[in-house]
Structure 1
Amino acid sequence: MAAVTDKFYSNSWLYPDDHFAPGEHNLKFQLRDKIGIPWDFSKYDWERGCSVADAVLRMILNELRNQARLHFEGLEIHSDYIRQASARQGMKIIAPTEFDAVIPFTIKGLDLQEIRLRDFSDQYLPGQIRLRVVDVAQIDKFPGLRRAGVFGTKFGTCLIDTKALQEQVFKSLMDKAFHALSSIPYATNTYDVTRGSRPPTMDLKIQDDILKEINVDFVPGFILDNEKISIPGAVVSSSEETPVVFPRYGLMKWINKENKNIDENDKNFIWRSCSSSYERFMFDLCAVSEERCYIRTASRVMKVLVFRLRGRQNQAANLLSSYHLKTVAMYCILLLTVPTKLTSPGYCLSGVREALGYFLSFLKSVLEKKFLPDFFLGNEHLDKIFPGSYFSKIRIKYNLFDKENPALVEQAQFGFPEFERVLSGCFDAGNLNPKVVNFFRDKTLNM
């Protein structure tokens, strides 16, 4: 298998490749029969989807940079974008028609300081920050951003207004770029592209003759830091530590409908400290471990099962998103394939059947407790993979279900038995390590 550092530093879309144990030759066919739909797609469709997404992203990004130079002094948008999420992690299912990209940017010459965000109860909100302008006199160098309202004030403190940055700067730049391009020519094709806005994302819808509609999440990410972390050798199947650089981005998070405890005066200044680089690395770890490939394959199976059961209005499927499932997969990778006191020396996950057994066990506990903690916030074992990292120092957990419809969260556990019925005979529930299962249920899922 490839060196994990080669995989991590590769900024390429990754074609999904399921990996089953030698004794599981028929398991994929059994799973397809049980679930009722295939989840693979052709290499031709994959290459088509990737090339269309890349062509449109490059054209828009190039014009966006041109418009930024004309209208907003100091706003520097990088010349390349960072591929992320399922299409980068080898997790895409059914059709290659959804892609995600972070567009790194900075404000050159402006000194900013991260400030942790507190709610009405004076409690820190994990992973949420504000950016303070250290020297207010510097803002005179950025008249375009100032006119757009990017520099706001709260109690005498100058902060970056994320709503103004998204609405008055990036949406304005995007519209100017679209007007300049009119349509997006590429090779012998011209694509019709429309822009939406779901902060922190600007979503692009691309009409294609073959794949019909391709959706691209275009996410501006302010460069907060570049962390150099020495990954333990045991994690990357090496005798030595491996230094890896992790960019950390701030995403404009000014819409916070799910949290009623945030001061209205704070909402326009909120950034989310984005963990996408670290998440990408979690799945790049599959490059050096068959066991992690089994977990990634199990995650794809669960994604297609949720997709299938959503059509039947299953309560759990209606709640669970792709990111929820990836979070469970990351806990599986951590607790089953990274050396801790939970697993005996020499333990190896036997295949996809066992990986599905743990996945279902973890998911059942999550739905019963109505609690799925963000993998990168308050995770006591995060130091086992990312020692000394920004996220490993955050001790407060965040429930990913807090931003979901409470009625869906309440009802989801009643849909779980159908998951087990559909997958009956395709997963191993009898030979799971009780120490791992109990730790996840009783420790990980406790606030």
Structure 2
Amino acid sequence: MIPQEIIRHKRNGDELDAADIRSFIAALAAGRLSEGQIGAFAMAVWFKGMSRAETVALTLAMADSGDRLQWADIDRPIADKHSTGGVGDNVSLMLAPIAAACGLAVPMISGRGLGHTGGTLDKLESIPGYMITPDADLFHKVVKEAGCAIIGQTGTLAPADGRLYAVRDVTATVDSIPLITASILSKKLAAGLETLVLDVKVGNGAFMADRGQAEILAQSLVEVANGAGVKTSALITDMNQPLADSAGNAVEMRNCLDFLAGRKKDTRLDIVVFAFAAEMLVKSGVAASPDEAEGMARQALSSGKAAEVFARMVSMLGGPADLIDNPDRYLVRAPVEKPVPAARSGWLSACDARGIGVSVIDLGGGRRHPADRIDHRVGFSDLLPLGTRVTAGEPIALIHAADDVAAERAAAALAAHYRITDDRPELTPVIAGLI
């Protein structure tokens, strides 16, 4: 069928068969479609939606548009985790080595910051020498020998997704559940996964602010991934405040190193990391129950084994082997560090997590345009969690800025992002549900 006929059928609300979807995506990947045709297809899907069978077919076609990674020589379960994005979300940095230390192989292909959310690759690039785009042989070697590797997507992995997303980005069709599902999962399928755990965030700092929409997306992702042959589950997690007590790049990397070294415990981040570790281990058949799995994960952290895995991964990908022991030697600090005082006494009862993410961008820690250079030094650390009792003038965060002017602007913005009340707030659980 010719492309315009496929577009017409979808525009009219017809269900496309798998062969038509595959031929359309093959033409897209080969550069035989115009941007107008790609945009028209995306808009037709946005308006008319896709059935579960169509979404599975689209996902598989996009996954098959480039290389598929093979792990036949690795005798561990191949597993990964994906997050829909949040503020202060550096879970992947700790989760991958913990899961690897418990017996999984984790080929984690991550992304850069999107909008107000931070990107795992941007955080890793604060490590001197770390290669986020190694060749396929080195990637395979690191996964096999270290147990995990966190890298960026190559041009040969699900290339149709990159071309389709570029058009969606400028045609107001990003927020389509079938297109989001296929975009996320095509890369994961191409990575050769056996199991996948998804972190679907909901709240004012997430792309899905509504719980119902987050559940619809999670259900779509889980059903399509399982339909495509990857054992998958999803946790819905709260993003009404930063997950870690840091937001930025080098500051979040420091947070990761502190966590792996056992210096960060009993936090919201701790709850999420071990919940995902447990889900990965149970899904992969390494542990029989969530309690057993969480115990394995906590032992991997407390014994130092997870830290060793992380150090080996960093070293094999070009970074310093002693990063965990000597972070100040490698992670450059911002020249200005300024505390943000509480405006009044009371309880930290709410915050604008999205606004905090935008403030990191304003400091230079994110991108307004794709070509922007990031200042990895800047951001916020020592962010107090909601539910904390503060007195007027007490620091609620520490700003890391390039200069005094930026620090003052960020301090005013951050103070405005928090609400302090006389009454202690009722907080939502960080784990909101499992699908």
**Greater relative contact order: 1 or 2 (C-alpha under 8 angstroms, separation 6 or more)?**
2
TM-score (norm 2): 0.26
